Amino acid sequence: MSILGSLDWNDIFIVPFFTEPSLSTGIAAGAGGVVVLGALAVMVLLTVKGWWKPLWSNWITTLDHKKIGVIYIVLALIMLIRGVLEAVVMRAQQVSPAPGFLSVEHHAELFSTHGTIMIFFVAMPFLTGVINVVMPLQIGARDMEFPFMNAVSLWLSIGGAALVMASLVVGHFETGGWTAYPPYTGIKLSPNEGVDYWIWSLGLTSVGSTLSGINFLVTIYKQRAPGMKLFDMSIFAWATLCTAILMIFAMMPLTVASLMLALDRQAGFHFFTATQGGNMMNFANMFWLFGHPEVYILILPAFGVFSEVIPTFSGKKIYGYTSLVWATIAIAVLSFTVWVHHFFTMGQTANLNAIFGIATMTIGVPTGVKVFNWMLTMWRGKLRFSTAMLFSTGFIFTFVIGGITGVMLANPTIDFATHNSLFLVAHFHNMLIPGLLFGMFAAVNFWFPLCFGFRLDEKWGRRSFWLWMIGFYGAFMPLYAIGLMGAPRRMAFFTEPAYFPWLVIAMLGALCVLAGLIAQVIQIWVSVKNRESLMVPAGDPWDGRGIEWSLGCPVPEYDFTTIPAMTSREPWVDAKEAGKRIMDPTEFVDIHLPKPTGMPFLVGLVATLFAFAMIFQMWLIAAVGFVAMWVLVLIRSYDTDWEETITAEELREGYEAHKRLVETTPQIRLDDEFTTKNRGLIMETQV
Amino acid sequence: MSNTGAAHAASHDHGHHDKTGTVIFGFWIFLMSDLIAFSLMIANYADAEWHGIANGPSPHELFSLGLPTIETMALLISTFTFGICTLGMKYGASMKRTVGWLVLTLALGAIFLGIELYEFHEFWTEGNTPQVSGFLTAYYSLVGLHGLHVTSGIIWGILLMVQMKTFGMNDLIKSRLVRLGLFWHMLDIVWIALFTKVYLMGVL
């Protein structure tokens, strides 16, 4: 066998276009070309601008939780562009005259990569990034508990995403949807490397997520500011804690199921091959033992974001803190009890279906509690509709509709009629677009100044919100309708003329969503260009409530000059109400921060090489990659000089400088919040 | 609330928190995640030993209790010797003695592994490979997953002994030894479940 395994010339993206020229292979070649040219363009830009070195020393080697968070979010946004573009191509395919311009396989690859990317390489890095930036700042920590492991998680996730991008250039992705059920994904029906791309890209990112979960949980348990009890934490930190627990327990079933599938495919094992005593139902069970908690991994952090944004822009403290926390915990626990509702029709008894149906409906109760919490927080508040607040309120309306269709689907008798239809597709997009993306967009608009020191442009932010909101309704309400009319999901084309008008509306909706995404790119562009006038160096640009707003913007590398004393649930609000504009320092002491290191990047690089070699059955290279990965870890274990010290004196100087800045920043009215007068430190109580 | 806060603050060392304890706590959490993998494999095995026989042998035809009992004893004794190793470390035993107990532990682990591989080899040469049936796939994967863990535990132990020589018995090495101990004891507990489910109940 060749050292390059199953790789051959036909796997290179451009070749199929010459051997079988068609619009479909042309689009595939074009997409591969965009990836290659994009990578080249980035490299040229970095070289011309001389940015390689700063990129390496400031970003790639960083162990700072804020920068790691930013890299995660950038990864999510890049992958989001691909995911949305794929959606638009699929919508265009379904409105063009049958059989459309894509081959059936090409369309199948598109919905498989679209789902895989959106869940694992948009949603997961997005929420992991936001947690990385915000959670330590909200609990008064200086970093994650395990900064090195945090960076390893990051580079494993990027490696997974890089493999999915590589599948555009080398070989194919799978065609069995993001769930990749065998027997279809077995070696007989899917002989090419597509399923292996799915297995190994998820393998990398799911290990990364497990490690992230451990990191978040230990950080919250061990690094809270002195005096901060669990029930003093922000709701976002609570959401993170519950998410972390779900990550720790729920990622493993995915890892196990996908490795079993790999053994079936490459080693002739029989976990899921029915003819030899395997049981493919076990795959569905394990996949959804992961998959259902995963839904709440995706949604709980967004719930946490809304619970921070809504009180801030309502000028009120969150309504019913304790009930909101218990609702979060209840959702996390219940999320492990409902996985069978993903396969009501696979032949188990009616009683079993009934039990899981009831458990599923039960989740609606704590979720409903949360919706009332948010609404009652806004009740009689002084609402300010910033971009973050628009996304939050837009979420509440839209999410409730998705929740109602979810309760419909939870009823097995209804599910028998609607499963695998576009009704289901409409339902889960209705949960995840408001319940995840809107939350993350709100988070970016809300917390952006903490990382970069300036606000994002409000005008383009609001435009992006309306485009996303209208686009969402346009793209998915029609799918509810044709789903009920009987349209199955994952079809390359329809011949039923009654669907056509609905599909055209959905197509226009998808274009509107694309416009929303473009508006967001413009928003970032405009904000960076006008950053001088958007600067909020004194911090707290929106009369915020959490202790993260007691810091200057951007937040210094060490986060806090002194760890705040937690005397209540909202010490920053207390301080402001007492007329203070900076929190009283506690004791200045020397602190230790982790030194930057390129090791996590190398671990990720070698792990990606290993995974790529596994995909194309290059066993020798895979073995070398695997050993090299552990050798790197071993080398790191000899490195005991991993911290650098920041002296108490430097921290005192940092504090004094921030104090001077705060004292010289003129105080302005809340009404001027979105104007260039806002240099930070808005207070409602005094002018 | 402010009272308890102040009390907590007084007991809390700002700059240096207890890194060793935190790392061990994190490792506990990792082990919980790892246990999920074993539980899934056991569940899969429990299904396959009933429904996955296909044209292959049944557990009853395949297993006998002789060798598995010996390997179980080796592993159980190794967890005892590891216990003595870490207890000795806690009460200031010499490095030589700590290393001695660790070597004994790893040797017992190697005996366990040797017997397991011998048994795999026997089954394999009889034609009972994992490719024969769902049951055999589940058997090799479940027992093999545990075996891989023991293998990595042995490699880890050897590398740790090298580091003991380099660094001496400092806090970092002690913390690593405690973590290896947790890992090793967990594998013992998992093996008790495997021995019961696979061999005892299989032969019965």
Nearest Cα residue to A163 out of A194, A119, A209, A185: A194
φ, ψ dihedrals at A536, nearest 5°: -130, 65
Distance in angstroms (rounded) separating the CA atoms of residues A556 and A452: 10
Could you read off the pLDDT of A139-192 as tens digits, one per residue? 999 999 999 999 999 999 999 999 999 999 999 999 999 999 999 999 999 999
Contact assignment for A277 to B26 by CB distance below 8 Å: no
The percent of residues above 70 in pLDDT, for chain A, comes to 99
Residue type, A612: F
A638 touches chain B (CB under 8 A): yes
φ, ψ dihedrals at A350, nearest 5°: -65, -35
Residue A148 CA, chain-centre distance (Å), reads 21
Q: CA of B88 to nearest chain A CA: how many angstroms apart? A: 24
Distance in angstroms (rounded) separating the CA atoms of residues A575 and A110: 53
Give the model's pLDDT for residue A61: 96
Q: pTM for the whole thing? A: 0.95
Residue B194 confidence class, pLDDT cut points 50, 70, 90: very high
Residue A567 confidence class, pLDDT cut points 50, 70, 90: confident
Could you read off the pLDDT of A118-150 as tens digits, one per residue? 999 999 999 999 999 999 999 999 999 999 999
Most A CBs within 10 A among B11, B18, B19, B29, hence the mutation to make, goes to B29
> In Å, what is the CA distance from A107 to each residue of A116, A444, A499, A658?
14, 32, 19, 55
Distance in angstroms (rounded) separating the CA atoms of residues A32 and A16: 12
Residue B17 confidence class, pLDDT cut points 50, 70, 90: low
Nearest chain A Cα to B176, which residue? A637
Nearest chain A Cα to B129, which residue? A269
Assigned token pair, A214: 């451990």
Residue A671 confidence class, pLDDT cut points 50, 70, 90: confident
Contacts of B158 (CB under 8 A, 6+ apart): B106
Distance in angstroms (rounded) separating the CA atoms of residues A192 and A359: 39
A99 touches chain B (CB under 8 A): no
Contact assignment for A145 to B22 by CB distance below 8 Å: yes
What sign does the dihedral A612-A615-A617-A623 (CA atoms) show?
positive
B36 touches chain A (CB under 8 A): yes
DSSP state of A646: E
- Window B:64-103, CB contacts with A under 8 Å: none
Determine contact, residues A550/A574, Cβ cutoff 8 Å.
no
Give the model's pLDDT for residue A485: 95
Contact assignment for A256 to B56 by CB distance below 8 Å: no
DSSP element (H, E) containing B23: helix B19-51
Rounded average pLDDT over A224-250: 96
* Facing residue for B36 by CB, picked from A253, A267, A562: A253
B33 touches chain A (CB under 8 A): yes
Q: Which chain B residues are within 8 Å of A256, Cβ to Cβ?
A: 36-37, 40-41
In the A/B pair of chains, how many CB contacts fall below 8 A? Answer: 139
* Facing residue for A227 by CB, picked from B9, B15, B56: B9
Could you read off the pLDDT of A614-633 as tens digits, one per residue? 999 999 999 999 999 999 99
Contact assignment for B26 to A210 by CB distance below 8 Å: no
Start-end of H helices in A616-668: 619-638, 648-664
DSSP letters spanning B42-68? HHHHHHHHHH--TTS--HHHH--SHHH
Residue A381 CA, chain-centre distance (Å), reads 30
Distance in angstroms (rounded) separating the CA atoms of residues A545 and A302: 18
Residue A685 confidence class, pLDDT cut points 50, 70, 90: low
Average pLDDT over chain B reads 90
Distance in angstroms (rounded) separating the CA atoms of residues A458 and A388: 9
Most B CBs within 10 A among A146, A230, A275, A276, hence the mutation to make, goes to A276
Give the model's pLDDT for residue B9: 39
B204 touches chain A (CB under 8 A): no
Determine contact, residues A198/A647, Cβ cutoff 8 Å.
no
- Window A:287-306, CB contacts with B under 8 Å: 289
> Collapsing DSSP states into helix, strand and coil, what is residue A233?
coil
Contact assignment for A279 to B1 by CB distance below 8 Å: no
Distance in angstroms (rounded) separating the CA atoms of residues A29 and A14: 5
Residue B100 CA, chain-centre distance (Å), reads 20
Distance in angstroms (rounded) separating the CA atoms of residues A656 and A658: 5
Residue A321 CA, chain-centre distance (Å), reads 25
> Collapsing DSSP states into helix, strand and coil, what is residue A191?
coil
Contacts of A218 (CB under 8 A, 6+ apart): A145, A146, B22, B25, B26, B29
Give the model's pLDDT for residue B1: 33
Assigned token pair, B37: 């993998």
Assigned token pair, A564: 């705040």
φ, ψ dihedrals at A591, nearest 5°: -125, 160
> Collapsing DSSP states into helix, strand and coil, what is residue A382?
coil
Give the model's pLDDT for residue A14: 83
Distance in angstroms (rounded) separating the CA atoms of residues A22 and B21: 62
Q: Which chain B residues are within 8 Å of A253, Cβ to Cβ?
A: 36, 40
> In Å, what is the CA distance from A79 to each residue of A26, A74, A102?
22, 9, 22
Tokens 């986060």 belong to residue: A559
DSSP element (H, E) containing A289: helix A280-314
Give the model's pLDDT for residue B126: 95
Distance in angstroms (rounded) separating the CA atoms of residues A29 and A110: 14
Distance in angstroms (rounded) separating the CA atoms of residues A73 and A644: 27
pLDDT of residue B67 exceeding 90, the answer is yes
Between A484 and A580, name the one with better pLDDT.
A484
pLDDT of residue B30 exceeding 60, the answer is yes
**How many C-alpha atoms does A599 have within 13 Å on its Cβ side?**
21
User: What ipTM describes this predicted complex?
Assistant: 0.92
Average pLDDT over chain A reads 94
Nearest chain A Cα to B16, which residue? A591
Nearest Cα residue to A374 out of A420, A316, A432, A437: A316
Distance in angstroms (rounded) separating the CA atoms of residues B42 and B190: 10
Rounded average pLDDT over B76-98: 93
Q: Which chain B residues are within 8 Å of A221, Cβ to Cβ?
A: 25
Residue B8 confidence class, pLDDT cut points 50, 70, 90: very low
Q: CA of A634 to nearest chain B CA: how many angstroms apart? A: 9
**How many C-alpha atoms does A591 have within 13 Å on its Cβ side?**
19
pLDDT of residue B10 exceeding 60, the answer is no
